[in-house]
Amino acid sequence: MRAIILAAGAGTRLSPLTNGRPKCLVKVGERPLIDVQIQALRAVGVDDFVLVVGYEAEQIRAYCDTDVRFIVNADYLTTNSIYSFYLARQELDTDLFLFNCDVIFDCVVLRRMLDSGHPNVVAVDSHVPMVAGEMNVMFDQDGQVSGISKQIAPERADALSIQLVKFDATGARTVAAEVERLVADGRKDVFPTTAYSPLIAGGSLFAVEGGDLPWAEIDSIDDYKHAVETVLPLLTARDHGG
């Protein structure tokens, strides 16, 4: 199984940690973010890794082992992650996970996604308060997603997206075609979630709960402190059977 990790951005909100260092190589504890992610992916059988890189790409190439393949987004300063996703569209031909390089998570949430019985799933956290401007998700009692967007008002949201998505090969190809359409229309400033709309319209994207497990998205210095001080110890305890 494949994982596509979007790691092209400069991570300016994490400055000074990202001054001259790509976000995926920022350490959480003693390990870079990318190591934490790949360890979790390997734990559920993923053995094919694709990184879309841009800022300080050569540092990432030098660090990662030969199991990782690279796609370069040379326009990372002027495009959103949808364009990085677009550049990886030829890789959307098999079952895969997709996420950004700034999320740390328990491998159990990946296992739940694989075992959900649904071909296309997004991990969500329904345990946290809903906040305006976050990637909020709406779904019914069966978990069928009806919306995922930063424009969903908190009072309408059922959960926060953990920003981990799994597609089967058919779903991946559907999303790839939508990504191509969006970029052809000049919409390089939207989030990859915009490309999930055909799956949502077809009733084939489902939510899987992961909010009872430790995870964090690291966008800012405050996020980083929370991840290191609160989330990482929980992940480490679980890794050691705690």
pLDDT bracket for residue 241 (50, 70, 90): low
Amino acid at 209: E
Residue 144 to residue 205: CA distance in whole angstroms = 6
Q: Which residues pair with 124 in a beta bridge?
A: 161, 209
DSSP string, 61-74: HHHS-TTEEEEE-T
Task: Give CA angle at 166 (165, 167), nearest 5°.
Answer: 125
Query: Is a pLDDT exceeding 60 seen at residue 199?
Result: yes
| CATH number reported for the structural domain that contains residue 101 in this entry | 3.90.550.10
Any idea which residue has 């870079």 for tokens? 32
Pair 24, 32: CB distance under 8 Å? yes
Signed CA dihedral, 70, 21, 191, 65: sign only: positive
Look at the chain and report how many structural domains it folds into: 1
211 phi and psi angles, rounded to 5 deg: -70, -15
| Residue 58, token pair as written in the block | 């050569």
Query: Is a pLDDT exceeding 80 seen at residue 186?
Result: yes
pLDDT for the residue numbered 210:
97
Average pLDDT over residues 180-198: 92
Based on C-alpha coordinates, what's the Rg of the chain?
Answer: 17
Task: Please tell me what DSSP assigns to residue 154.
Answer: G
pLDDT digits 0-9 by tens, 38-51: 999 999 999 999 99
pLDDT digits 0-9 by tens, 106-156: 999 999 999 999 999 999 999 999 999 999 999 999 999 999 999 999 999
Predicted TM-score (pTM) of this structure: 0.94
pLDDT bracket for residue 239 (50, 70, 90): low
The boundaries of the domain holding residue 134 are: 2-239
Q: What number of H helices and E strands is found in the chain?
A: 8, 13
Query: Is a pLDDT exceeding 80 seen at residue 175?
Result: yes
